[in-house]
Chains A and B, each alone.
Chain A
């Protein structure tokens, strides 16, 4: 019952033979070996598996392959073209904004998508966007601080209200 699906993943054209109901998450992890997108709930409720699909942040666990056909998907591994880290990733690293780190792939995809479209997003906007991501280790405030820092290129100061 498998079928061939063609889509773009991190800028590359890929062809995946699988069951149409297989989730994009499992296709990314198992067929393409892209393990950065994590399995947290499989129910679209935690954000661990967030990817960008045609510009929108979606839960890969909740995206069957039949609906990914022809789409363009960006995963945490492909946020920054070439080597190196996306500035949101760099900011998380600088702020040590993670404990176990399991939630961060989805958070990074979500926050990076927000900043790429809204580079001046304020704290409330960041918090609202990240409300779809769960973190059990309790690093939410560190993450918000890091994302706010990542807004600006070069040396950057978080405004006092933001740092509050």
Chain B
């Protein structure tokens, strides 16, 4: 069962408003003047709610302080699907803009009616409608205006004022609480009567529970919950449930088997098939004659590594309904998946979003919510909060797939590309709840009546694809072939993580562009521009080069490297220049970034997202690799899965290149791929050796040097 949204044929309304046309779903005006704006998008640490509040305030003609953004809720707010893929600001922003414009028009009309004047003469500023000497506020009109009506497809999509708030850097609405240390996250919720729950994950993915020695728990004040190989405890005291789950580890007997591939030969695993083959670009004929250059690149499995382990809360209510609190990216999808997994009516389930630490894709959030649902079923009427451990978070959340790619080009005498062939192998990049026709919730696979899960899939091309996202180079090559190969059988659960396949594809394409430039004896920037007609692309590349001092000669052992892409082919343009010092170790000194996101809603928000995205991509590129043996994931803490530290974080400079009039696009995922390529290219520039397999650790560099000398 997937969540199907009815497509309403009102092309003049933004898609999310057309799907949720009743205005009161979006906006409630209270008599004290505060205005609730409900959206289906959720705060993942990216500042989306602040950006949407800014848009709402601008359209309503109120100060941003007057706007409240309640958490997304399946029962009360609009359904806007997932918060992912950098599309939130596009979809939700235009819906909020249109809905708020209509609300404002209704209030202005009511004011005009009261004064018996033409509505066109009524203005609104700071929440007060005025005409001549008369004035009335939103709050005073609240009882008189009915918002339980459908949005008018013929109404203007915006009030059309000059942007006052949009384009300014509004301070994030959620940061005062977070910086003061006030309760704000799902971990901090303490509902009346709340109990604590812990789940004992199996020792390995294929393990099946044979026996539980319940007597071992006799001294502990907890209740044991078991359903097949799913086992956990519930109790009043969190510290006690933590002790209990430890004891439970020793009190359980499991049957285990080896199921994982050889971590040292992931390329063979990814290429072994069976595959689904996706021809993105089919070449028109055989490759031309000429000099042929080829290379193979790879990246390992990666973990989300959110700073907060996943958490979920559930309560089975006395009337048979179920309440769930989750930091899911898609509360409606989660609701449908829980309903399917337990064969209950989705209408009886209400899911409310609760914030957690930064989320970079489909992590363990939904799984933790389902754990809570299963444990809470044993204690009706009581909310149960399930807290994952760090080890479970790193070993049991869906991973980002390992990938490998072959690139081949035929070039003319000047070294310019005559033909381009690209093949990429990967597991699928999504197994979100409900996506593959199954609930997709971790615990479901371990129940007495288990769900079996198909191999991860890929989003359709219209949604940006997965394995082949950004697989098509932006350059004007005369003859191109691009093919994706998605693995159809795998024991490893992978799903969406920031940028999906784009991180690897851009790393491979842009690394190879540098290899081609080198073999043509050309400057990498000039070589790219030579193949690049897109004017916005050119100005972003040139802006990055200018601010990084691309022409400046570097000292010995220091290199500059360039990486560039337009995210998802139609999103943000982003050029990254890395400055790397490579001596005994690799030190990433600086990232200089130019980005074009179209119309800028919140410049500091864009900068923060790009800085954060690039820094995280630097961590993936320089350090990260999920480790496993043939049975289980072994990189389950911050020592075995190291990430970038303060002393390793590069200085990041972000320049926003404005393209007036171009629609806004998201910034959150634009820098991932270009950053990886820029670092690899900078290392090659610094020491003359190319590393094609991530991560780019000191060991990998030594291995590459040895291979080159080999």
Contacts and interface: CB of A to CB of B under 8 A. Distances in A.
Contact of B174 (A75, A101, A140): A101
Given A26-B239, A141-B649, A102 B356 contact: yes
A101 B612 contact: no
B541 to A, nearest CB: 23
Contacts of B40: none
A19 B13 CA distance: 59
Contacts of B47: 99
Contacts of A142: 608, 611
Given A39-B308, A40-B308, A42-B389, A133 B637 contact: no
Interface in B176-194: 176, 178-185, 187-188, 190
A100 interface: yes
Contact of A136 (B169, B172, B306): B306
Given A39-B187, A139-B608, A103 B307 contact: yes
Contact of B390 (A41, A104, A138): A41
Given A135-B307, A137-B616, A43 B181 contact: no
Contact of A100 (B237, B239, B307, B646): B307
Interface residues of B, number: 64
A18 B242 CA distance: 14
Given A136-B643, A138-B614, A102 B308 contact: yes
Nearest to A90: B179
A140 B646 contact: yes
Interface in A8-61: 18-19, 21-23, 26-27, 29-30, 33-43, 45-46, 48
B307 A35 contact: no
A42 B638 CA distance: 11
Contacts of B399: none
Nearest to B189: A35
A41 B243 contact: no
A92 B179 contact: yes
A137 B45 contact: yes
A136 B307 contact: yes
B357 A19 contact: no
Nearest to A105: B181
A136 B305 contact: yes
Contacts, number: 180
A89 B180 contact: yes
Contacts of B171: 93, 96
A19 B243 contact: yes
Contact of A77 (B181, B637, B651): B181
B36 interface: no
A144 interface: yes
Interface string A105-119: 100100000000000
A93 B238 contact: no
Nearest to B237: A30
B221 to A, nearest CB: 10
Contacts of B181: 34-37, 75-77, 105, 108
A46 B357 CA distance: 13
A141 B179 CA distance: 17
Given A41-B390, A42-B389, A22 B239 contact: yes
B239 A23 contact: yes
Contacts of B242: 26
A99 B307 CA distance: 12
A103 to B, nearest CB: 5
B384 interface: no
A96 B175 CA distance: 8
B387 interface: yes
B701 interface: no
A121 interface: no
Q: Which of A18, A135, A136, A164 has the most CB of B within 10 A?
A: A136
A7 interface: no
Interface in B223-270: 237-240, 242-243
Interface string B92-106: 000000000000000
Contact of A41 (B356, B619, B638): B638
A96 B604 contact: yes
A48 B45 contact: no
A73 interface: no
Instruction: Return the 5 tightest CB-CB contacts between A and B, nearest first.
Output: A36-B181, A100-B45, A138-B615, A101-B178, A102-B357
11 contacts: A35-B182, A35-B188, A36-B180, A38-B187, A41-B390, A41-B637, A48-B308, A89-B179, A138-B619, A139-B608, A142-B608
Interface of A: 18-19, 21-23, 26-27, 29-30, 33-43, 45-46, 48, 75-77, 85, 89, 92-93, 96, 98-105, 108, 127-128, 130-131, 133-144, 164
Given A41-B638, A48-B307, A101-B174, 13 more contacts: A38-B185, A40-B307, A96-B172, A96-B608, A98-B172, A98-B179, A99-B358, A99-B609, A100-B359, A102-B307, A131-B646, A141-B649, A144-B646
